[in-house]
Amino acid sequence: MNLNFLILGIFDIVRDLSLEQFFSVLIKVIRVYPWLFLIIGVLYCFFGKEIFDKINFIIGGVFGLGLAFEVLYLLPRVFIQILILLIAFLTAGFIAFLAPYLLAGFVGFMFGVGLLNPLYMDLALVLGVIFAAIAILLFYFFLPMSTALVGSIIVGEVFLLWTGSTVFLLATIVVLFIIGSMFQILELSSAVTEEFTSEG
């Protein structure tokens, strides 16, 4: 297996903001590592909300390492190089961890501000903060379904590679999306119920 291809594929996915390019690179990497992505897809289908933040942190950290490697030759000592790599990994990972929530909050904030701005600026800012909080909560609420969808697409692409059947691809995506979403939502509901019960 070509590890460099996998790493470069991850860098391309992270750097490229085009949705079309994202899926193009993802499919190429899946074809090289079908079993790996089959496992990742299944995990995302049934445990997406649990691993979403961890995966984001790791992808961000890898991206940070890629950027850090480009300036390592400027640093004279190995200790400083290792320290820079560690800082780059943790910093980029933390940013990637927060990014989806910040983006959801930003969209909600701009929507809330846009409802009243520029008529009542003070009230618009308050409304923006409220909508930002609502957007983050909704993002967390829909996370099981969105991760189940991503996971089902990944598994479907692996099966498409093996079978060549588009019908089987679509059936896999639909079935896994429904089952994965229901499983995660039930897990989330039971966790919330258990938390309320323990507090009561």
Encode pLDDT of 125-177 as tens digits: 788 888 889 888 888 888 888 888 888 988 888 888 888 888 888 899 999 99
Residue 142 resides in a domain: yes
Residue 2 resides in a domain: no
CA angle at residue 180 from 21 to 174, to 5 degrees? Answer: 65
The tally of domains found in the chain comes to 1
Residue 13 resides in a domain: no
Residue 16 resides in a domain: no
Q: First CA to last CA across the chain, in angstroms? A: 53
CB distance 88 to 67 below 8 Å: yes
pTM confidence score: 0.61
CB distance 163 to 148 below 8 Å: no
Residue 104 resides in a domain: yes
Q: Where are the alpha helices (DSSP H) in the chain?
A: 3-15, 19-32, 34-69, 78-116, 121-163, 166-199
Residue 176 tokens, joined: 């896994």
Residue 118 resides in a domain: yes
Full residue range of the structural domain in which residue 161 is found = 44-186
pLDDT at 18: 52
Residue 82 resides in a domain: yes
Alpha carbon of residue 186 to chain centroid: 21
Alpha carbon of residue 185 to chain centroid: 18
Give residue-wise pLDDT tens across range 63-82.
Answer: 787 777 777 766 667 777 78
